[in-house]
Amino acid sequence: MYIICLCVGLFAISSAYVNVALNKPAYQQNQWKPGDKTYDASNAVDGRKSDLTWNGGQCAVSFGERVATWWVNLTSVHSIHHITIYFLTGSFSGHIFDHLGFSVYISNTTDILQGTLCFKDSNFTPDTMPSIFNTTCPVHGQYVIYYNERESGVIYPHGYQKYVDADICEVEVYGCPIVDNLYGADCCPDVNCQKCNMETDICVECEPGFEGHQCEQACQNGFYGEGCSEIWFLTGHKFAGFGHIRKSDIHCHDLLEWQDSIAASCIRDQVTLANLQDTVSTPKE
Q: Residue 267: in which H helix or E strand, if any? A: helix 260-268
Q: Are 134 and 4 in contact (CB under 8 A)?
A: yes
What 3-state DSSP class applies to 264?
helix
The answer for 229, left when phi > 0, alpha when psi is -120 to 50, beta otherwise, is alpha
| Lowest-confidence pick of 81-85, 102-106, 186-190, 268-272 | 268-272
Tell me which of 213 and 124 has the higher pLDDT: 124
Residue 70 has pLDDT above 90, yes or no: yes
Rounded mean pLDDT, 216-231: 77
pLDDT band at 214 (very low <50, low <70, confident <90, very high): confident
Task: List pLDDT tens digits, range 6-49.
Answer: 333 433 334 478 999 999 999 999 999 999 999 999 999 999 99
Burial class (CB in 10 A: 0-12, 13-18, 19+), 191: exposed
Mean pLDDT, residues 270-284: 37
CATH number for the 7-175 domain, one of 3.40.50.300, 3.90.1300.10, 2.60.120.260, 3.30.70.1230?
2.60.120.260
Strand order in the sheet with 178-179: 178-179, 182-183, 193-197, 203-206
Distances in Å between the Cα of 99 and the Cα atoms of 36, 70, 115, 126, 140 are 23, 12, 20, 9, 25
Going by C-alpha positions, the residue among 117, 189, 188, 186 that lies closest to residue 147 is 117
Distance of CA 158 to the CA centre of its chain: 37
CA distances from 87 to 7, 96, 162, 238 (A): 18, 9, 19, 74
Spatial CB neighbours of 272, under 8 Å, sequence gap ≥ 6: 250, 251
The number of angstroms, rounded, from the C-alpha of 23 to the middle of its chain's C-alpha atoms is: 17
The Cα-based distances of 213 to 1, 184, 196 in angstroms read 50, 16, 11
